[in-house]
Chain A
Amino acid sequence: MFEILGITSQALFGQLLIGLINGAFYAMLSLGLAVIFGMLNIINFTHGALYMIGAFVAWMLLNYLGIGYWWALVLSPIATGTLGVLIERFMLSRLRDLDHLYGLLLTFGLALIFEGLFRQKFGSSGLPYRPPAELTGGTNLGFMFLPNYRAWVISFSLVVCLGTWYAIEHTRLGSYLRAATENPALVQAFGINVSRMITLTYGFGVGLAALAGVLAAPIYQVNPLMGSNIIIVVFAVVVIGGMGSILGSIITGFALGVAEGLTKVFYPEASSTVIFVIMAIVLLIRPTGLFGRST
């Protein structure tokens, strides 16, 4: 054990771990937001509510159907992603040619409706969701104790984020998506059904939010307000990373989680505002974000 500026290594690495965990959720959620904004030009305020629904679907699968965590990791993103497909197909697609503001207002309204419905049904207090038996316990690293479930969340979310980045930047499907962002009419005229691609992309972004919700359920409990608590920070991450930048969202998500964690160690009073201070500075110096492209 050692000390830095009077802080023990246990406290330092403990907060660093919490920062990485939060960063993993910021990264996965902001990645979904970035995919949806970059490809569809929709500022998706429903994203936090869909993250919450993802966690609730996992909870319901366990408590109503006896289906555990590992299946929930697959089924919840599919179910919530399907809800996303329906939202895009029957609501957002009608706003496609209008100003961003209309999509923002619609998704904000939907978020309030979803939260209200779940609060009505399940109340405001958190519902417990146990981590799977395989991931209970932890490992003593000498300088800190690392819970297995938290190590799993960090590594799994990193794999999902990098996998998504690779798929968008280095595959044929990804090149369709990037091209459709620039000139959807021409991509359609090459024989690609852009409308269907937009719907499925939205469903995929929503699925990522739901996946983050399932991962979060054993750590934060399942709560109708869990989405609204995190979504503003996630939007700040997207703005800092650069609206629509996939790699920017991933790197910024993890980095800001760590920055927040370290601020909790050295100056706890600023921990809840540090991300927004960074956002203000980035917007002043580089309005397109750290990884955004100027237009």
Chain B
Amino acid sequence: MVDSAMLKVSGLQAWYGESHILHGVDIDVRQGEVVTLLGRNGAGKTTTIKSIMGMVAERKGSITFNGQETINWPSNKIARAGIAICPEERGIFSSLNVEENLLLPPTVQPGGLSVEEIFTLFPNLKERITSQGTKLSGGEQQMLAIGRILRTGARLLLLDEPTEGLAPVIIQQISRTISRLKEAGFTILLVEQNFRFAATVADRYYVMEGGKVIDEIDNAHLDQHVGKLNEYLGV
């Protein structure tokens, strides 16, 4: 099972300056799965996906993507290999309009969605095509942040708290979108604090605490572990 992992993270450690954030993270994500990293604030979820993306300068351990070791690669090379990130707080560029934001990430592999397909997924974006990126509502910015990485052809998507600060109706739309992406064959590693949202899309969960994975739960056995999860997340 582990051998077929599209992404395999082993003993990952990461630092921000003097601060040691990750203390040996082990996760694997298989092709076509939606895997969620759960945990409280400061557990190391965002640092984990930033490390996978090469955005944390000091990191040790092993990260393999499709069998290739990427731990020492710069982030642009990792992106070219087929991993794309939708960062926390969306990372929409204020000096670019919606169209420019959408077209910004270069195509790294064939098989990405066309702009028209992205507009079908997120019709609001088409109506706001000439607006400044940061003038959109929070939900529209999130659609833009997800939409722009779908163009690139990357097959592993790292989504960092896509529902943060969004209204329930928008969260439902994001949930439907992730389900459609899964059906289309995308592999997704999701960081979430909103367990109710994650439960609608995820196949498996890793629970993080103190810069380590402390538990792994399969969606099939979720009902048996809800109490434990609530305890982990402080719900």
Contact = CB atoms under 8 A, between A and B. Distances in A.
A101 interface: no
A277 to B, nearest CB: 31
Given A176-B104, A189-B55, 13 more contacts: A172-B103, A175-B104, A179-B95, A179-B96, A181-B95, A182-B95, A183-B93, A186-B85, A188-B76, A189-B76, A189-B79, A190-B76, A190-B152
B163 interface: no
Nearest to A175: B100
Interface stretch (A117-125, A191-199, A249-257, A265-273): A191-199
Contacts of A162: none
Given A185-B55, A189-B54, A192-B76, A178 B106 contact: no
Interface residues of B, number: 24
B222 interface: no
Interface in B141-160: 152
Interface string B30-67: 00000000000000000000000111000000000000
Interface in B93-116: 93-96, 100, 103-106, 108
Interface of B: 53-55, 74-76, 78-80, 84-85, 87, 91, 93-96, 100, 103-106, 108, 152
Contact of A190 (B74, B95, B104): B104
A134 to B, nearest CB: 41
A179 B55 CA distance: 16
Contacts, number: 56
Nearest to A187: B104
Nearest to B77: A191
B228 to A, nearest CB: 34
**What interface size band does chain A fall in?**
10 to 19
Nearest to A179: B93
Contacts of A194: 76
B189 to A, nearest CB: 14
> Most chain-B CB neighbours within 10 Å: which of A182, A186, A188, A191?
A191
Contact of A189 (B53, B93, B100): B53
A192 B106 CA distance: 8
Interface in A89-130: none
A155 B130 CA distance: 32
Contacts of B84: 190
Contacts of A185: 55, 75
Interface of A: 172, 175-176, 178-179, 181-183, 185-194
Contacts of A192: 76, 106
Contacts of A188: 55, 74-76
A172 B91 CA distance: 18
A168 to B, nearest CB: 10
Contacts of B105: 190-191
Contacts of B53: 189
A188 B74 CA distance: 8
B120 to A, nearest CB: 23
A185 B85 CA distance: 12
A191 B105 CA distance: 7
Nearest to A191: B79
B108 A175 contact: no
A191 B152 contact: yes
B155 to A, nearest CB: 14
> Most chain-B CB neighbours within 10 Å: which of A172, A188, A193, A194?
A188
30 contacts: A178-B95, A178-B96, A179-B93, A179-B95, A179-B104, A182-B93, A182-B94, A182-B95, A185-B55, A185-B75, A186-B85, A186-B87, A186-B91, A188-B55, A188-B74, A188-B75, A189-B54, A189-B78, A189-B79, A189-B87, A190-B76, A190-B79, A190-B106, A190-B152, A191-B76, A191-B79, A191-B80, A191-B106, A191-B108, A193-B76
Contacts of A183: 91, 93
Nearest to B154: A191
Contacts of B78: 189
Contacts of B106: 190-192
B184 to A, nearest CB: 21
Nearest to A194: B76
Contacts of A186: 85, 87, 91
A104 B105 CA distance: 32
Question: When A and B form their complex, which 9 residue pairs have the shortest distance between CB atoms, in order from nearest?
Answer: A191-B79, A190-B105, A189-B75, A178-B95, A175-B100, A179-B93, A186-B91, A191-B80, A188-B75
